[in-house]
Amino acid sequence: MAQRRSSKAAATADKISGLPEDVLCHILSLFTTKEAVATSILSKRLSHLWRYLNNIDFTDIEVYSSESNSRFNDSVYSVLVSRDTAAATGSHFINSFSLDIEYDSNIFFSIFMWDYSDLDDGIVPILPIAIFTCKTLVSLDLRHFSDDSLTIELFKSLSFPNLIRADITQSMCRYFPLKALSTSNFLCLDTFLLYTQARDVYQVSQPQSPYENIPIFHNLTYLELHNSWHLILQVLHHCPKLQNLKIYEESYAAMGIEDNQENWVDPEFVPQCFLSHLRTYTILNNAGPQSQLMLGKYILKNANSLQTMTISSESEKRKLSECPKASATCQLLVNDPGLWKQYSLSW
């Protein structure tokens, strides 16, 4: 009976081996990297195909001891070295690389410290440095990274010429080269520390503007900021095609700014996106009602194509409904907790 089962399994494996290579690669792509590698023992034909997979992922990894760290290093290193050897003979490039790891920070070192140049020193590398200057990357999501010199140096070297979307949710944007994001059309930045740094520059009276190095985001249509109007107005001048703006207002008290109308100053020039592109404006987490009101009035007065404005309260709605507007079709949305109410603005 056992021999019959073995023969049946061998026959099934032979049928699979007879499939075209692209079909086999597609089947393997449905498995995790660990599962795909495990198929190499089923037949000689399958022994190498996992090396050509375009998506590499390591999920549910736990590293809580030196032994498990060593096993992780050995296995991932083996996969990547085998993968790179195969890719060197063809056009099987990596489309995505994913790590999902639970680890003890005292045991497991930052992946940014691993580099192929360490091979000569006998240190096990994991990620090639080319990952951080990827010319074909279209989506970037960064969060929970440390504030250390290694991270800062890494960020300075980032270059993504084809980037479409970036989500940077850790408050470390002051170290991030915005030029690396200039091709994106969807951008989310938590820029509270960027603003704090700018305020410090102002306080020590250094003549150079903290915003001079902001690049022009020629393709950007969606922008989400966690900041005050001080930075927002500066950034808008660098987003000529912006269509959707969302702001999560930070606490003015935390930034040491008094929230009053005297703090508001109309920009000398109207941002280009206001003239024909801006469609929606949303502000959430109301923490500075006076400055929020002034910014809302300014946008209503100058955004010719604005379709909707979403604010935080009924009282803001009443005040803004009395303001002049550039767009005859603009609607005001009030963000009540747990409830959205829509109002048409008609003056």
pLDDT tens string 284-297: 765 455 667 888 88
What whole-number distance in Å separates Cα of residue 179 and Cα of residue 161? 10
Phi, psi of 59, rounded to the nearest 5 degrees: -115, 155
pLDDT interval class at 252 (50, 70, 90): very low
Whether pLDDT at 329 is above 90: yes
Nearest C-alpha neighbor of 94 from the set 42, 131, 65, 69: 131
The values of phi and psi at residue 253, to 5°, are -65, -40
In whole angstroms, how far apart are CA 130 and each of 12, 80, 118, 205? 40, 13, 15, 40
pLDDT at 250: 55
Instruction: Please state, in angstroms and rounded to a whole number, the distance separating the CA atoms of residues 173 and 169.
Output: 9
- Which region holds residue 165: left if phi is over 0, alpha if psi is between -120 and 50, else beta? beta
Residue of higher predicted confidence among 337 and 32: 32
Q: Tell me, what's the pLDDT at 319?
A: 87
* pLDDT of 298 higher than 60: yes
Q: How confident is the model at residue 318 (pLDDT cuts 50, 70, 90)?
A: confident
pLDDT on residue 164: 54
Q: What is the pLDDT of residue 303?
A: 94
Dihedral through CA 277, CA 283, CA 287, CA 292, nearest 10? Answer: 40
Between residues 241 and 183, which one has the greater pLDDT? 241
Domain positions in the chain: 1-50, 54-133, 136-144+152-347
Mean pLDDT of the chain: 65
Query: What average pLDDT does the segment 312-331 reach?
Result: 87
Contact 62, 68 (CB under 8 A): yes
**Residue 248: strand, helix, or coil:** strand
Q: Is the pLDDT of residue 258 over 60?
A: no
Q: Which one has a higher pLDDT value, 152 or 251?
A: 152
Contact status, residue 145 vs residue 168, Cβ threshold 8 Å: no
Tell me which DSSP letter residue 161 carries: T
Q: What is the pLDDT of residues 94-134, one digit of tens each?
A: 666 677 767 665 555 444 344 433 333 333 334 445 555 56
Confidence of residue 263 (pLDDT cuts 50, 70, 90): low
Q: How far apart are CA 227 and CA 195, in angstroms?
A: 7
- The tens digit of pLDDT for each residue in 19-73 reads 887 888 888 888 888 788 888 787 777 777 777 777 777 777 777 777 766 777 6
Collapsing DSSP to helix, strand or coil, 109 comes out as: coil
Q: What's the one-letter identity of residue 160?
A: F
Global pTM value? 0.47
